[in-house]
Structure 1
């Protein structure tokens, strides 16, 4: 038996030498090419999905009139729609990680369309809550995650510009859908508006089809000579184990399950005791050892890449500058389908069998989870709750989210109460959308600029202060909504809060990396979505209750503004915590403006 075992090991090691298995796989960020179609698809999704959500204030007014319900009741629809969209982030990420961006988007668009269409047949407000709120929220949650992930995967050097263009679709969609919804409701009905929204949402399926699987490039850490030494050493050690098989001490060593030789690189070669026999376990599928092209195509597993939610350009991250191609790499891919076109590229997926060994683990007994559960666990790892800096940022996000969504739900009704026509009131949200789009571009530019004063080259601090100040100013203006009473005043009000709140949308992931590092970004981003989702369940209903109790939206806006201003002011404590914890970040050197110009 020992000779047979030795023969097997030598044979397999020789095969590995003949065709080396890559140590890692690096996504090929195209920074162009089909990536432009990916941007277009993501932009279209943001136009449709965000346009429907942000323009829901027009629909809310019509629902209140039809069902004779209060602000608090109709606001539950908004809180469910947005809250479930955010809270479903971990599940959506798991599906994206397992099945890829294209399939997840298509499934999400189908679910959201069903929810909107079914809500058009509602006979009471609770029916609308379930379908337009909860069901559509799940669908949009499945759409949003891949719409962001796919852009960050296709772009590396020009990622800031690419993601900026894609997410600007939210402001464009708000500017378009708000007056469009009002026109449909005025000329037809709110039921027709919901059905048309369902039709628009189905178009997200076409947008999702642009999310083509991405190619991964194999990377080897060891040179050919080093690999030869590894092979010879492994064979030599295996022969020694074979010769000593009858030795009592060796038997004792094997019986306690100790590993004779740890795994090397991607090919997990481990010797472990099982029923008195020594077995060789290989973590990779044999598919990669067969004939294949230089690169492979990957449609899933994206969330295993540490910078997948980072919307800035990774080439300026200190980690990227230190690690190079290893920064965005993954370690274990296995063949899943046949050839791909003329290039005979093979689609591969991450190891999903929990019985297979983790390829980089030195513990041969450690098992790898499925792509679905791995993403969810990474998203919801509670260890970050022990980090005071992250807790401060998460609580700030909670307060921002409490005040963020309610104004959009009630601005149109507020305008009508001030004496505006329905058509003019819908223009408030159009102004909000246009200025929000401008704000995302402006904040994206200035947040990566050095300023001409002492300490102005600290980009992380610059970003944080810009973020903080914009939230404080937004909160103050929102809280003093009673100062804007005529048509031009309320249009300016909507435009300004749309402009100033855009920092919250476009800088959150970048600041999160500044605070906790890119290695914890996926976990941190997932936890933030949970905080934001819970806050959204609270914010709009609370604002609705205040509006009903005071018979005025001004006090509801005052509550929202107070929460937003507090969320910005409290983050000035980050610098104190960083000094106390000795975690002052490195000063980055990149400029988004340079990226925009190339």
Structure 2
């Protein structure tokens, strides 16, 4: 039997669009249940916390706000750990922290204790698990990426639909302390989900790690194994002369690697997308918070008002999956960003029409439309982000994207409540939500129009006085690689050909 060392089985260099990728989707599906669905179910404990600790609604409501805000605020930390170690490590560590936070919350003696255990510790655990799991789906899928993201992220709606009555039953039978303890055990399944996230090395990652891998396409000779070994020996001989310069070089390379992970922050397209996320986060949470109070205010009974939220959650799942499948079709794949803008705009228009809907029969179509387009844009957020920054930087970009959601998630519900208290109606609150969502869509649409105009009327480059462009030259990427290679080779030749000093 051959004694040669074998490489690990994690060297798939192209997304397979299937195979183990569906196990990744299943793992991410469970992660969204254990994070986003559990976060929504925290509101079920409000009345229990309020009665046990004798606090008002505003003080108790901070628990849910802290969980949601911390999850989004610490999303870049999850991306950082996933990039430095692996997504598997990040999700397992997040599962341990989140489960510990829920178990400790079952022994809470004050509301402040819950702020730290449930709001901060559990929120950090959710942050470490959520973003890396989503980015792994993008690494395993290319052709059916939108469908895979839609299925994975539908766990939020399905989990809310299933967990909400289960959590209420647990509270009835075991009190809120027992329910939190059992919920902590359930969330520990994040560690199992993390074990499913087998790392994969993408072809673009390999090319970035070894830029000369693609140089054969550029028309010049790639260095042979002997030349590469000689260059390595020469560089090691030169570097061994000074330990201080070597340590500086290592520090420089580490710093350069960190900068490369976030170089998308300088991309104009991503900056526009980030601005769109700010408007989106400011408007998307208000209907979920104020739909039931508005329905009760216009005379809808409690059971029908709660049923509106159930409709919204169920249709949200349909939007996740069907819109993801539609945008993977060949005739729509090139226009996924346009579909994303359409979903945002339609969701905003639905919010603008809410003040005209004052009966249960009229609010049902709103719940259906808003829920569908909400699920549609949620499924497309990682897809659109991946189209802008690439798959290799998706984890870091999603961390920044969800980080931008944190402050609006924390502040928009209180602002909406202040508008209700000031005006005496919900009209201004829903208008704020609608205009924010429409502004998010219009910002992306304006950037797309500007980009299209620039492509149709490009500026003259290195041409004659009449603006005629010069003939195309060599690929600058290949040219720079060729120059770098020959500069290294010439430097090595100078080192090896330097005559010995004479006595």
TM-score (normalised: structure 2): 0.72
Contact 1:119/1:131 (8 A) holds in 2: yes
Give CA-to-partner distance per residue, 1:312-365, whole Å, 9 cap, x none. xxxxxxxxxxxxxxxxxxxxxxxxxxxxxxxxxxxxxxxxxx9596xxxxxxx7
TM-fit CA distance, 1:563:
1.6
Counterpart for residue 161 of structure 1: 147
TM-fit CA distance, 1:487:
4.5
Q: 1:176 aligns with which of 154, 162, 167?
A: 162
Counterpart for residue 400 of structure 1: 280
Q: 2:450 aligns with which of 571, 577, 582?
A: 577
Give CA-to-partner distance per residue, 1:272-301, whole Å, 9 cap, x none. 6468x599x9xxxxxxxxxxxxxxxxxxxx
TM-fit CA distance, 1:31:
4.2
Counterpart for residue 476 of structure 2: none
Contact 2:351/2:434 (8 A) holds in 1: yes
Q: 1:117 aligns with which of 97, 103, 125?
A: 103
Q: 2:190 aligns with which of 197, 200, 204?
A: 204
Quickly say closer, same or farther: Cα 1:31–1:52, change in 2 above 3 A.
same
TM-fit CA distance, 1:68:
6.6
Q: Which runs of 5+ in 1 are unaligned?
A: 1-18, 236-262, 282-353, 358-364, 452-456, 586-598
RMSD: 4.3
Give CA-to-partner distance per residue, 1:141-185, whole Å, 9 cap, x none. 111123223333344454443333222212211222233344444
Q: How far apart, CA to CA, are the structure 2 residues paired with 1:469 and 1:410? A: 24
TM-fit CA distance, 1:472:
2.2
Quickly say closer, same or farther: Cα 1:228–1:368, change in 2 above 3 A.
closer
Q: How far apart, CA to CA, are the structure 2 residues paired with 1:395 and 1:369? A: 30
TM-fit CA distance, 1:521:
4.9
Q: 1:231 aligns with which of 226, 231, 244?
A: 226
Contact 2:30/2:155 (8 A) holds in 1: yes
Contact 2:79/2:395 (8 A) holds in 1: no
TM-fit CA distance, 1:428:
3.3
SS at match of 1:27: coil
Contact 2:149/2:382 (8 A) holds in 1: no
Matches within 5 A, 1:50-61: 50-60=36-46
Q: How far apart, CA to CA, are the structure 2 residues paired with 1:184 and 1:466? A: 41
Q: Does 1:531 align with 2:404?
A: yes
Q: Which runs of 5+ in 2 are unaligned?
A: 208-212, 459-503
Contact 1:389/1:515 (8 A) holds in 2: yes
Counterpart for residue 309 of structure 2: 429
Q: Does 1:438 align with 2:318?
A: yes
Q: How far apart, CA to CA, are the structure 1 residues paired with 2:302 and 2:457? A: 51
Q: 1:540 aligns with which of 413, 432, 450?
A: 413
Q: Does 1:81 align with 2:67?
A: yes
Counterpart for residue 507 of structure 1: 380
Contact 1:57/1:411 (8 A) holds in 2: no
Contact 1:436/1:498 (8 A) holds in 2: yes
Larger % of strand: which? 1
Q: How far apart, CA to CA, are the structure 1 residues paired with 2:111 and 2:235? A: 61
Tell me the number of residue pairs that the alignment of Structure 1 and Structure 2 aligns: 441
Q: How far apart, CA to CA, are the structure 2 residues paired with 1:61 and 1:214? A: 45
TM-fit CA distance, 1:52:
1.5
Quickly say closer, same or farther: Cα 1:396–1:68, change in 2 above 3 A.
farther
Larger % of helix: which? 2
Give CA-to-partner distance per residue, 1:22-48, whole Å, 9 cap, x none. xxx653645444443332222122123
Quickly say closer, same or farther: Cα 1:82–1:178, change in 2 above 3 A.
same
Matches within 5 A, 1:559-598: 559-579=432-452, 581-582=454-455
Q: 84-93 or 68-77: which moved more? A: 68-77
Matches within 5 A, 1:73-152: 73-122=59-108, 124-152=110-138
SS at match of 1:368: helix
Q: Does 1:368 align with 2:253?
A: yes
Matches within 5 A, 1:133-532: 133-185=119-171, 189-214=175-200, 231=226, 270=235, 273=238, 277=241, 355=247, 367-369=252-254, 374=257, 377-378=259-260, 380-381=262-263, 383-384=265-266, 387-412=267-292, 414=294, 425-449=305-329, 460=334, 462-515=335-388, 521=394, 524-532=397-405
Q: How far apart, CA to CA, are the structure 1 residues paired with 2:290 and 2:170? A: 19
Q: 436-445 or 507-516: which moved more? A: 507-516
